[in-house]
Amino acid sequence: MTAKGNGRQPKYQRIAEALKAAIKAGEYGPGDRLPGENDLMATYQVARMTARQALGVLQNEGVAEARKGAGVFVRDFQPLRRRGIQRLAREQWGEGRSIWSADIGDRELVVDQVTVTEAPAPAAIAAVLGIEPDERVCVRSRRFVLEGKPVLLATSFLRADLAAGSAITQEGTGPGGIYARLAELGHTPVHFREEIRCRMPSPDEVNRLSLSTGTPVIIIVRTAFEDGGRPVEVNEMILDSAAYVLEYDVDA
């Protein structure tokens, strides 16, 4: 394993590129331990900080993960391919399937934290839903765990009067989820809008998503609209950026 590349690159970046090339070539497979700081210092004749920065690059890119007291290992979790168009098709939730089924195949997904409350609408949510500030909304918060790895925190906001008395106010919303229940209530979603941005996580998000140091999160805010253009749900999602590939397949 040699550190090739642009001589003007910082040494730690050249070492990181060499490690990634070795992983791609199969020298290190999923779950394998990578050379530690002492190994890299000896191999490349660099300072400890340089070796640490090189390993940090792989962790920040989601290629590797640190295990306390054991070292840095090639990440064995395969990123989740989020199919942004197909997952929201009515043929998914309209036939009782979870929108997640378009993403996960036969992988195991668990929702391990669910809370459903009624609360005053935050100002930003009220503005999107077209309601008065502090009007009551149904708030559904969930954590999604794929193959033992937390990958997503999601919070849905719906008008309290719309959701009242329906399965939307229960922990389990039934086949097809929220959108199928909205259709039963006469508020069928016919259009969706997603806004995407990235930022560094809060301490609570780091804890709940088990994020490696330096890993950013992807924020997706999805609004569902019924016929006539009225918003019926706002869903704020926080994704582990290292756990996702966002795919949008659109015909020209």
The model's confidence at residue 190, banded by pLDDT at 50, 70 and 90, is: very high
pLDDT in tens, 51-64: 999 999 988 777 88
Q: Which residue blocks in the chain are alpha helix, DSSP H?
A: 11-24, 37-44, 48-60, 90-93, 101-104, 123-129, 160-163, 177-184, 203-209
Q: What is the per-residue pLDDT for 243?
A: 86
Question: Can you tell me the distance from the alpha carbon of 44 to that of 42, in angstroms, rounded to the nearest whole number?
Answer: 6
Q: What is the per-residue pLDDT for 149?
A: 87
Apex 83 CA angle, 176 and 151, nearest 5: 80
pTM of full prediction above 0.85: no
If you compute the radius of gyration of the chain from its CA atoms, what whole number of angstroms results? 22
pLDDT in tens, 74-97: 987 777 888 888 888 887 777 777
Sorted by sequence, the CB contacts under 8 Å of residue 115 that are 6+ apart come out as 139, 140, 141
pLDDT in tens, 108-129: 889 999 999 999 999 999 999 9
Rounded to the nearest integer, the mean pLDDT of the chain is: 90
Task: Return the higher-pLDDT residue of 138 and 3.
Answer: 138
Domains and CATH numbers, the chain: 11-74 (1.10.10.10), 80-247 (3.40.1410.10)
The model's confidence at residue 245, banded by pLDDT at 50, 70 and 90, is: confident
Write phi, then psi, for 210 (nearest 5 degrees).
Answer: 50, 50
The model's confidence at residue 5, banded by pLDDT at 50, 70 and 90, is: low
